[in-house]
Amino acid sequence: MAKLSIPEAAKRAAFPQVKTLEDMRSIGIKKVVTYTNGTAQMANLKLGKIEVGKTIICKQHGKNSKLITNHRYTLEAENDKQFQVEGQWYLKSWFRADTSLTCHSVQGDAIAQRFAIMETECSFASKEWFWTACTRATKAKDVYIYTGTPLLKGLGDRIRRKLFLHQEEDKKKGRAFDLDADWVRKRLKDQNYCCALCHSVMDVMYADLSDEQWSIDRKDNAHGHTKDNCQLAHWGCNRAKGARPL
């Protein structure tokens, strides 16, 4: 007998399905379990709001900080670029809202509210992963499967489009260019999908002209788009920096 794929298995198990973020909001789903950090960050941007008094999850931190990765902290205060937890200030990009959990960060936890499992179509997601995600529920009827458009769908096209435009621009101006799609993807992950200038999450599923969208920021505008001269930042932050008098 052929093995069932995860979405088929989910259908047979009769978990209800949700197809859009709007549907999730309307039926009161406030948590999601994802496979990748990138999808978790996008779901946070669309569903989760980080507020003082709420819980946030540490995703990365500097060498000498007392923070623990995947540990939850209560947000005590925030300023432009930093969050305060346990009386100390840290970069915002080291944290994520407690809305979206990767299976890895949720192991051993119980979720006592409705939640949706995303990325069940992801080729890396195993049945064990799906099982771990499902069994976080304290009630089976709280589990929903997201079967809509993957939140990072279209990212490849957007990366290629931006790179093409920058390459043309550098060619015209006689500047060096050595960026590629792998560099952008690695950089997004390394920056935890956050802006290098303000440290808040960037949108990869942006509407045209949105200031929240990711962009490639040249640290020194006298030079071209090269790996050692570039970082990722909100389009809005990038333009504001360019407009600042030196």
* Chain residues in the site for Zn ion (CB under 5 A): 195, 197-198, 234, 237
Residue number, nearest CB to Zn ion: 195
Of the pair 130, 193, the CB lying nearest Zn ion is at: 193
Residues 231 and 210 sit within 8 Å (Cβ to Cβ): no
Q: How far apart are CA 178 and CA 35, in angstroms?
A: 31
- Sequence-ordered list of residues with C-beta below 8 angstroms from that of 230, at least 6 positions apart, any chain: 179, 187, 216, 217, 218, 219
Of the pair 115, 214, the CB lying nearest Zn ion is at: 214
Q: In the bound complex, what is the minimum distance in angstroms from residue 239's beta carbon to Zn ion?
A: 10
Of the pair 9, 198, the CB lying nearest Zn ion is at: 198
For residue 58, CA distances in Å to 102, 121, 219 come to 12, 27, 27
Q: Which residue has the tokens 């047979």?
A: 12
Of the pair 122, 197, the CB lying nearest Zn ion is at: 197
Of the pair 29, 195, the CB lying nearest Zn ion is at: 195
* Residue 149 neighbours by CB distance under 10 Å: 12
**Structure tokens belonging to residue 97:** 């809202």
Provide the β-strand partners of residue 57: 72, 96
Q: How far apart are CA 215 and CA 191, in angstroms?
A: 13
Q: In the bound complex, what is the minimum distance in angstroms from residue 202's beta carbon to Zn ion?
A: 7
Q: In the bound complex, what is the minimum distance in angstroms from residue 7's beta carbon to Zn ion?
A: 36
Q: In the bound complex, what is the minimum distance in angstroms from residue 92's beta carbon to Zn ion?
A: 10
Q: In the bound complex, what is the minimum distance in angstroms from residue 167's beta carbon to Zn ion?
A: 24
